[in-house]
Amino acid sequence: METKEYTTDQEQLARFAKAMGHPARIAILNFLAKQNCCFFGDIHEVLPISKATVSQHLKELKDSGLIQGSIEPPKVRYCINRENWAIAKNLFVRLFDHDNTKKNSCC
């Protein structure tokens, strides 16, 4: 059986997409994209979920590289990782920008 490898771009896009695969994470990204940075409490105040759940979503987004956090005792400050945000945008644009009008419809 032949094993096919995925490109680095495909793997990175899949990581970003997985991290964005929950409405709460999209809400967090929308909130953070509108400001330079904010503290955990600011994020928790705008979401209708528990602090523990917000923490789990922030961890997923941070692990994907879409956001970053820094500890400023006793608080944690979060912001969009602008470099990875630009990479994600580029990867999604390339994915959705294929010209499918020249191909026959499959259905």
Count of C-beta atoms within a 10 Å radius of residue 11: 11
Give the CATH number for residue 61.
1.10.10.10
Residue 87: strand, helix, or coil: helix
Residue 93 lies in a domain: no
Structural domains in the chain (count):
1
Residue 102 lies in a domain: no
Query: If phi over 0 gives left and psi between -120 and 50 gives alpha, with beta otherwise, what is residue 87?
Result: alpha
Residue-wise pLDDT tens digits, 56-90:
999 999 999 999 999 988 899 999 999 999 999 99
CA distance 6 to 30: 29
| Choice between 86 and 100, residue whose per-residue pLDDT is larger | 86
Q: Say yes or no to pLDDT of 9 above 80.
A: yes
Residue 99 lies in a domain: no
Q: In what order do the strands lie in the sheet with 75-80?
A: 38-39, 75-80, 67-72
Residue 12 lies in a domain: yes
Q: What percent of the chain has pLDDT over 70?
A: 90
* Contacts with 37 (C-beta within 8 Å, 6 or more apart), sequence order: 77, 78, 79
Give residue 58's pLDDT.
97
Residue 106 lies in a domain: no
Residue 1 lies in a domain: no
Give residue 4's pLDDT.
83
Q: Which domain holds residue 29?
A: 8-88
Look up the pTM and report it: 0.85
Residue-wise pLDDT tens digits, 10-24:
999 999 999 999 999
Residue 105 lies in a domain: no
Residue 80 lies in a domain: yes
For 12, 56, 81, the CA distances from 3, given in Å and listed in that order, are: 19, 34, 34
